[in-house]
Amino acid sequence: MKIDGTAYRTIWLSADGWSVDIIDQTKLPHEFVIENLRSVTDAAHAISAMLVRGAPLIGATAAYGVCLGINEDPSDENLRRIGGTLIATRPTAVNLRWAIHRMQAYLQDIEVEKRREASYAMAAEICDEDVSICSALGDHGMTLIEEISKKKPGEAVNILTHCNAGWLATVDWGTALSPIYKAHNAGIPVHVWVDETRPRNQGAHLTAWELGKHGVDHTLIVDNVGGHLMQHGMVDLCITGTDRTTAAGDVCNKIGTYLKALAAKDNNVPFYVALPSPTIDWEIEDGVADVPIEVRNSHEVDYVQGLDSNGVISEVRILPEFSPSKNYAFDVTPARLVTGLITERGICPASKVGLAGLFERNVA
Ligand code: MRU
């Protein structure tokens, strides 16, 4: 996608041919800073401190993290160690495990002295694949927006989204926002309700920024507004992303997604979830019981980050010094609340049969 006319991906090989550049998302929307990753430690830090975030981009960064580790030491022992370091960074997005296992499985069959080159080729393949998957799911998702648009000619289709599942969360295009970009590019009038998404405000900081940079009409709302909008017919469609979708179609996404799905159900608003297939965890079915939910540092709840009156990015504390807080980062929306899953192979019911039908898995 373009920023002020220049095309960017969220991660790319640096001009030196071996280190890796990323956009530091902790500084957006106020500063656009490119960070250079030079070691597996740098890559692990970028993921855990959320310089990069969003399930597909976490996977892509882990893939390049493996390259940076192999660059230092291509041995079998190090290949295992790198995997351990990277997998410990964030527990919920299954794309992390998927990318590391794919890199390890490929590299372990390759002679040690050829691993460096092979690792970079595979990481590039993972990134390119993510771009084409997200583009394809956008094409499928756009048909939903088109259908609604036909029923209200001349009016914008109002879409509510949560967190950031745009191009910043992937290598390019995004998941939940990809259908929106495709619709906008095709001239379909759209307007996006952007949930602020406390505590880290990915909606306010990232979704609003990238939609605005692409010229998509949007309005920021605080996290508790969605239900009210739905009661008043102001939301035609919800689309969110997911960090892990179970084989039975339960969806784990940024904390607060579940409440939006409940409100959507009560108001007959279609609630779709967009996902690339590496976000499916085929090993589990019951999301509430089995998806590991990340609990992050309470500091993110206790403080709000923004631009101060001197134009400096700073933090302010919002609760008493003596009050404890808790920072659950994700929740699970059961499949029964999800109208459908938008994937690169098409749209399917959020169910075991639906997913298996698209991805040719055997249903027990
Ligand atoms: O904690 P984050 O910012 O990594 O959480 C991101 C989300 O919850 C996204 O909705 C999810 O990764 C899907 S993104 C394409």
Q: Tens of pLDDT along 186-196?
A: 999 999 999 99
| Amino acid at residue number 101 | H
Mean pLDDT of 141-145: 98
Adjacency order of strands within the sheet including 330-333? 280-281, 244-246, 251-254, 330-333
Whole-number pLDDT of residue 194: 99
What CATH topology corresponds to 141-358?
Rossmann fold (3.40.50)
Burial of 158 (C-beta count, 10 Å sphere; 0-12/13-18/19+): buried
Helix axes 76-87, 94-107, angle to 10 degrees: 170
pLDDT at residue 361 tops 70 = no
Q: Which atom of ligand 1 is nearest to the CA of 57?
A: 15
- Ligand 1 midpoint to CA 232 (Å): 28
pLDDT in tens, 234-269: 999 999 999 999 999 999 999 999 999 999 999 999
CA 74 to centroid of ligand 1, rounded, Å: 31
Distance CA 82, CA 67 (A): 9
- Closest ligand 1 atom to the C-alpha of 162? 10
Q: How confident is the model at residue 362 (pLDDT cuts 50, 70, 90)?
A: low
**The pLDDT of residue 363 is above 80:** no
Supply the mean pLDDT for the chain. Answer: 97
Q: Which residue's entry shows tokens 């493996």?
A: 66
CATH fourth-level superfamily of 2-129: translation initiation factor eif-2b, domain 1 (1.20.120.420)
pLDDT, one tens digit per residue, over 46-59 is 999 999 999 999 99
| Nearest-angstrom CA–CA distance, 350 and 276 | 14
Q: Quote the Cα angle for 71-17-21, to 5°.
A: 90
Kindly tell me if the per-residue pLDDT of 132 is higher than 80: yes
Start-end of H helices in 201-273: 202, 208-214, 226-231, 257-266
Question: What distance in angstroms lies between residue 164's CA and the mean position of ligand 1's atoms?
Answer: 6
Q: Where residue 1 falls among pLDDT bands split at 50, 70, 90?
A: confident
Determine the distance separating the centroid of ligand 1 and the alpha carbon of 56, expressed in angstroms.
8
d(CA 264, CA 203): 19
As a whole-number percent, the residues of the chain with pLDDT over 70 amount to 99
Distance CA 42, CA 44 (A): 6
Cis before 324 (ω within 30): no
Helix (H) or strand (E) holding 263: helix 257-266
User: Nearest Cα to 249, choosing from 145, 361, 172, 174?
Assistant: 361
Q: Measuring from atom 10 of ligand 1, which residue has the nearest CA?
A: 241
Banded model confidence at residue 2, pLDDT cuts 50, 70, 90: confident
The pLDDT of residue 215 is 95
Q: What is the pLDDT of residues 146-194, one digit of tens each?
A: 999 999 999 999 999 999 999 999 999 999 999 999 999 999 999 999 9
Tens digit of pLDDT for each residue in 306-338? 999 999 999 999 999 999 999 999 999 999 999
Catalytic residue among 236, 243, 250, 331: 243
Q: Is residue 109 among the annotated active site residues?
A: no
- Site to probe by mutation for ligand 1, drawn from 22, 51, 164, 341 as the one with most ligand atoms within 8 Å of Cβ, is 164
Note the residue count of the chain. Answer: 364
Q: What is the pLDDT of residue 360?
A: 80
The string of DSSP codes covering 147-190 is HHHHHSTTSPEEEEE-S--SGGGSSSS-STTHHHHHHHHTT--E
Q: Which residues line ligand 1 (CB under 6 A)?
A: 53-56, 93, 163, 165, 169-170, 175, 202, 241-243, 253-254, 329
Q: Domain ranges for the chain, please list them.
A: 2-129, 141-358
